[in-house]
Chain A
C-alpha cells in the first residue's frame, strides 16, 4: 500500500528516520548546535541587522527582477575582461561545456573549490568519465569524495561525519602506517595531500557566491583558503554558478558580506572574502622546474570561463511561489534553526543535492517536485527559519506550496471511504489519507464533542487505534485529544455573565478549535482574566483558522477557512473590537499567511487588530490595568491546582517568530512569578507532525531536548506552562508532571 507514487511507504519512512537518528543524528546535532547558537549570539550583537537584511533582500529582489539584463551585462563585462561566458540551459549542457573546455586544454587534473552548483549538475562524474582526475579541495567535500557520500547540509556538506569517522575513513582509504587521530592531524594530512594535487592541476573549478555584473567580479566566501589556491595556481579557471548569483554591482556586496558569516555559523565575518575580476593578473605558479623562479613576474597568461547555469532557474523566476528561492545566499541558517534537521540532518530530507529548509524550493525548481517530495513533511511550518534567514525568505510558505503541489499531483485512484466521510475538503481524492484526516481536524473535533465521551472511549480501544495507525498513520503511542462534551462556546453562552462596570476595551476572544473542543478550561480562564481586567468579551461562532489544512499543504481548503474567518470577524473589527487569540499558530495565520490566502488587502484589518492573549494582557497592564486582578503566587487561592511560584515556560515556535515570547514572561513576572524559559526551536510536536506514526521517533527526539531542559535540578520542580496546544500535548508525553496554559496560572477563578 503506497501513499503516493515514487514515494516511500510510511513504514519505510519510519525505518529511514530511525536509522538516521541512530547513525548520524548525534553528530549532526553536535555540529549544527554551535552554528545555530552562534547565529543567535552574533545577530543579537549586530545593531544594523535588520537594515542589512532588508537591504540584502532589496538587492536580491532587484537582481532577480532584472536577471535577463544582468546576464547580458555580465556577458559583455567578462568578455571585455578577456574571459568567456556560457549560459547552460540545463545540467547536461553545463557538464558538456565544462568537459569540452577541459578536453580542449588537454587537461589531466582538475582541482575544485566547494560548489554546490557543481554537485547539482553532477560535474565530477562527467569529468571523470572524460578520464580527468578530479579533486575536491574543500575539506568537507574532500571527506565526502573519499567516503562516496552525498552532502548533508547546504553550506557545510559533511556535518554528519564525526572526527572519529573521518579518521577511520582516512586511515583505511589511504592505508596509513601511522593512524591519524586529532583534527589537526587530519587537517594537516588533507592539506599536504591536496597541495600535491593543486600544484599539478591544469584547471581550477570554483562556484561563486556573488557575481557583480558591472565588472564581472566574482566574490568567493571561504574560511580555508582553498578557493584562491585552486584558482591562482593553475592557468585555467572555470567558475560554475547559478544565474541567480548575479548582483548588479560591487557596491551591492556589503550587506551580504556583513550577514553571511553571522547567518551561517555566527562568525563576525568569514576568514576570506575573495574578489576576482578574472582572468587575474597573478602570475601562474610553475612547479615543474623546482629550481627556476616560480613566477614569471609581470606576466600572466590565464584563461577564464564563466558557466552560468539555468537548470530550471529562469522557470523558478516565473513561478510566484518559487521565485523567492532565488534570493537564497546558501548560508544554511534555515537548516541550522530547524528542530527536525538538528536531530537527523540533511540525509533525512530527501532531495538530490539540497536538503533541509530552503532546499525544498531548490529541489522543486532544479530537479522537480518529486525530488522535494520524499520528506517535504519534515518542515512543520514552525517558522523559526524565517527569523534566521538573512534575506527574509518565507521558507515555510515555499514548503507549503510544494506540499500542495505534491498533493495535487498525487495518485487519484487511492480512494478511501473511512477518511473521506470525515474530510469535507475540496482537495484531490488521491491526497495522503493522513494529511486529509489532520487537515480536517475541525470536523473531527465537532464530531468528537458531539459524541463525547464515546469519542474518547474509542480513542482508548487498542484495536481501533491500530486501525487508525494502519489507515491514516496516527501513531498509537500518542494520547489522542480528549473532546469535551460542553464546548467553550456553549459554556460561554450558558453562563451568567456580569457586565464589567468600567469597560476599558471590547474584544472578541477567538474560539480556536482546540480551545473550543479540547482545552476548554484555558478558554474559561481567558474569559475570567480578561473580564477581571475590565474587558468586554464576546465569543462568536467563527470557523477554524485553516492552520490544520495549511500544514498539510491543503492551500485551497485553508483559503476557504480564511475567507470564513474574515467574514465572521470583519463586522466586529469594524465595530472597534480587538481580536484576542489564544493559540499562537492561529495568530500567526492571521498576521502572516492570510496575506497570501485572502484577496488584496483583505487581511489587513485582522492582522492589525489581533493580539496574542498574553500580549493583550500585557498591553492592558501597560495602560493602567491592575496587576492585582491577576492571580499571583501569594494569593489565598494560589495553592489550588499545584501551581507554584516558580514557573518553567515553553513558548511556542510561531509565537517566538512573531516576537511575542517576552510578553508572557513579563506578565507572569509582574504577577509575582519567577520564570525560566526553554531554549529550543520547537517542542517537536508541531501540530499534527508528532501524531504521525512515521515521524513519532523524530518528534520525540526533538522533544527530548526540551524534556532535558525541564528536568534539570534548576527546573524539575517548577510548574510547567506552555502557550501552544501541541506544545502542551508534547509536554504531557515528555514529562511526568502536568502542564497548562499561562492564562490558567493567572486565572483569578482557578
Chain B
C-alpha cells in the first residue's frame, strides 16, 4: 500500500493538536462552517469558485474586529509532508495578522500543493521570493511556548489550528 502525500502530511501531524479535514470543493460549505468559532475574519482565497464572502467571515476587518476575532481563515501552500508544515504567504492583504491575532487559524490547502520535503518547499519559496514575495512563514502546529514552566499552546499566535485539505484541487 502506498502512502499518498495527504496521508503522509496527516501522519506527520499526529502528535500535534491540529485538526485536519479532507473535503471536496463541493462539500466545502459544511466543512468550513464547522471550523468557524465566531467572530471570524479572513483573507480572500486563491481558489476559483471559492469566495469567503459567501460565509459569515469579515474580509476587511476594522482594528476592533481584528482584535476581537476568534477565528482567522487564510489559504496555505505549499505544505510539507515530512513535517506536516504549511507555508502561509502574505502579500498586500493582511494574511499575517489574520493568521496570528485570532485564537484559531483555519488554513485552506489544495491537496496538490503538498510536497514531500522541506527542501522542496524552500525551492518553491525561493522562486516566489525572486518573483517579489516578501513574507512567508512555514507553520507547524499552533503557536507554542515552554517559557512559563510547562509547554503551552497559544503563546502569541493561535492556540488552535484547523487544516482543510481540498482533495480535488
**Which chain A positions have C-beta within 8 A of B123?**
251
User: How far does the alpha carbon of A350 sit from the alpha carbon of B94 in the complex, in Å?
Assistant: 44
* B122 lies within 8 A of A254 (CB): yes
Closest 10 A/B residue pairs (Cβ)? A163-B149, A225-B157, A224-B155, A139-B147, A290-B64, A140-B147, A226-B156, A287-B63, A225-B143, A183-B148
Report 9 cross-chain contacts, Cβ distance below 8 Å, ordered by A residue: A139-B145, A199-B67, A223-B144, A228-B96, A272-B140, A272-B157, A288-B63, A291-B62, A298-B92
- Does A292 have its Cβ within 8 Å of any Cβ on chain B? yes
Question: Which chain B positions have C-beta within 8 A of A278?
Answer: 134
Complex contact A215–B143 (CB within 8 A): no
The answer to whether B141 and A271 have CB atoms under 8 Å apart is yes
Given the complex of chains A and B, what is the CA–CA distance between A529 and B99 in angstroms? 67
Chain A residues packing against B (C-beta within 8 Å): 31, 81, 137-140, 143, 156, 158, 161-164, 166, 183-184, 186-188, 190-191, 194-195, 199, 215, 217, 223-226, 228-229, 232-233, 249-251, 253-254, 257-258, 265, 268-283, 285-295, 297-300
Q: How would residues 130 to 163 of chain B score, 1 for a CB under 8 Å from any chain A CB and 0 otherwise? A: 1001111111111111111111101111100000
Q: Which residues of B approach A to under 8 Å, CB–CB?
A: 12, 60-67, 83, 85, 90-97, 100-101, 117-119, 122-123, 125-126, 129-130, 133-152, 154-158
Q: Knowing A187-B148, A191-B156 touch, does A277 contact B133 (C-beta < 8 A)?
A: yes
Which residues of chain B are within 8 angstroms of A187 by Cβ–Cβ distance?
A: 145, 148, 152, 154-155
Q: Give the distance to chain A from B105, nearest Cβ to Cβ, in Å.
A: 10
Chain B residues with CB under 8 A of A31: 146
Among residues of A, the one whose C-beta sits closest to the C-beta of B43 is A297
B118 and A258 contact, CB distance less than 8 A: yes
CB distance from A295 to the nearest CB of B (A): 4
Q: Which residues of A contact B149 (CB under 8 A)?
A: 161-164, 166, 183, 186
Residue pair B119, A274 in contact (C-beta under 8 Å): no
Asked if A297 and B147 make an inter-chain contact with CB atoms under 8 angstroms apart, the answer reads: no
Query: Closest approach, in angstroms, between the C-beta of A174 and any C-beta of chain B?
Result: 14
| Known contacts A254-B119, A285-B66, A295-B60; A232/B96 CB under 8 A | yes
A249: chain B residues at CB < 8 Å are 126
Q: What chain A residues lie within 8 Å of B125 (beta carbons)?
A: 250, 275
Partner of A282, one of B94, B118, B129, B156: B94
- CB pair A215 B157 closer than 8 Å: no
Give the distance in Å from the alpha carbon of A228 to the alpha carbon of B88 in the complex.
12
B155 CB to nearest A CB, Å: 4
Q: Which of A143, A186, A285, A289 contacts B97 (CB 8 A)?
A: A285
Interface centre among B125, B137, B148, B152 (most CB of A within 10 A): B148
Is A269 within 8 A of B156, CB to CB? no
Contacts of B91 in A (CB 8 A): 281-282
Closest residue of chain A to B158, judged by CB?
A225
For residue B115, give the distance in angstroms from its CB to the closest CB of chain A: 12
Q: Report yes or no: A276 in contact with B135, Cβ–Cβ below 8 A.
A: yes
Q: How far, in Å, is A513 (CB) from chain B's closest CB?
A: 45
Does A297 contact B94, Cβ atoms closer than 8 Å? yes
The residue of chain A having its C-beta at the shortest distance from the C-beta of B155 within the complex is A224
Name the residue among B125, B133, B157 with the largest chain A CB count within 10 angstroms: B157
Chain B residues contacting A156 (CB-CB under 8 Å) are: 146-147
**Of B64, B137, B140, B147, which contacts A158 at CB under 8 A?**
B147
> Whose C-beta in chain A lies nearest to the C-beta of B120?
A254
CB-nearest residue of chain B to A279: B134
